[in-house]
Amino acid sequence: MREDLAWSYTLAGAMNTVNAAGYLMGALLAPWALRRWDPVLLLSRGALAATVFMALSGFFTDASVLLVQRFLAGLASASVFVTGGLLAARLGAQDPQRAGWLLGVYYGGTGLGITVSAVLVPWALEFFAAQPHGWRYAWWLMAAVCFLGSLVLRWPARQLANGAPAGQQAKRNSVALRPLAYGLAGYGMFGVGYIGYMTFVVALLRAEGNSTQSIVIFYAVLGVAVMASSWVWARLLDREKGGRAMALLNGLLGLATLLPAVSDNFTVLMFSGIVFGGVFLSIVASSTALVRHNLPQHQWAAGISAFTVVFAAGQIAGPTMVGWIADGEGGLAWGLLVSAIALWVGAGLAWRQKPLALNTGFGL
């Protein structure tokens, strides 16, 4: 799309920035929505809405229209993220010995989508290359896959709903955020840092002369690593009650983000993708684990929403910042260097987050 529509890196980054702005709005509205509707309903409707907005990406070429569409897609996907994480955390409360693994499986499921897109999108781009704006067929194909996924999601979502605490779903509960300040700040910097890699790493691989087949392999392996991450980090998420899990994972992610900026060796790039995929959604799981360990269950929705808000705020800043840097003399390598620094700052902040005492009455 960037090449066909003659976008700058700044405009390409802005597409993810407005997506994150919609995500932020959705996260801010999530506690209000959860007081009015069942989380299973919000999860399934949000998934279908996100599917529709994905399909719409193939119908427009005007950048202003696509910016609006990306905002709405972010709004819909936030409801999926918050409600799905809440339901997975509730299921973990029923089986504490596997709570970290269950969170990892939920967030690691994104790796399946990454792997599927790594295979289908390049195929669609090549097959429809002769068509005007052939990239639009990739959007439509992925929307069809997501529609099927949304239908399949309904059954496990209803099983997860069985974990809802009776009589507490509609309560209004506030959370005192100051005791979680370092964890929130570290997670916000994760949002700033990781999104630059996910937005531009394929562009960097292409700029360095890698073949389409190599890029497919890179992205597919990254997705497989995401799926495997739920087993790799489950014990860490169960054991660490404070911010050290998030700090360790942020630090590793910073290393993975830096590698493509300092080396164009494909083996090094593959190692970067494996580490990145094996870590980045486990940081998301670590934020939910932090909420689960440190807040009473009736405050989990508000806690997860708070972390989602700072994450979305970080995503707003990240893509445009990296795109603006990439448009300069340093190129994408400098943009990824800044992303790595943001992740290491996030690691330092998260390390300072201490466990909290449950049921002390704060925020009530």
Residues 40-65 pLDDT 10s: 888 888 999 999 999 998 999 888 99
User: Tokens 């809405």 identify what position?
Assistant: 49
Element (H, E) at 336: helix 331-351
- CATH code, 288: 1.20.1250.20
CA distance linking residue 24 with residue 312, whole number of Å: 5
Pick left, alpha or beta for residue 216 (phi over 0 → left; psi -120 to 50 → alpha; otherwise beta): alpha
Instruction: Give the separation between CA 23 and CA 214, rounded to whole angstroms.
Output: 31
Structural domain contains residue 281: yes
Q: Is 362 part of any domain?
A: no
Average pLDDT over residues 329-342: 82
Helix, strand counts (H, E) of the chain: 13, 0
Task: Give the per-residue pLDDT at 142.
Answer: 93
Stretch among 78-82, 112-116, 168-172, 261-265 having the lowest mean pLDDT? 168-172
Residue 364: pLDDT above 50? no
Written in H, E and C, the secondary structure of 190-225 is HHHHHHHHHHHHHHHHHHCCCCHHHHHHHHHHHHHH
For residue 3, is it within any domain?
no
- Residue 158: inside a domain, yes or no? yes
The answer to whether residue 268 is domain-embedded is yes
In contact, 81 and 34? CB cutoff 8 Å: no
- On whether residue 363 sits in a domain, the answer given is no
Domain residues for 187? Answer: 9-162+177-351
- Residue 96 DSSP label: G
What's the distance, Cα to Cα, between the start and end of the chain in Å?
49
Q: Let me know the angle formed at the C-alpha of 276 by 275 and 278, rounded to the nearest 5 degrees.
A: 65
Half-sphere exposure for 68 (CA within 13 Å, toward CB): 7
The span from the CA of 225 to the CA of 8, in Å, is: 31
In a domain? residue 358: no
Residue range 119-149, pLDDT digits in tens: 888 889 888 988 889 899 999 999 999 999 8
Q: What is the mean pLDDT of residues 274-279?
A: 92
Residue percentage of the chain with pLDDT more than 70: 93
What's the total number of domains in the chain?
1
Residue 352's CB is within 10 A of a number of other CB atoms, namely 15
Q: Is 167 within the bounds of a domain? A: no
Q: What's the burial of 124, exposed, middle or buried (CB within 10 Å: 0-12/13-18/19+)? A: buried
pLDDT single digits (tens) 153-185: 877 777 665 545 544 444 555 567 788 899 999
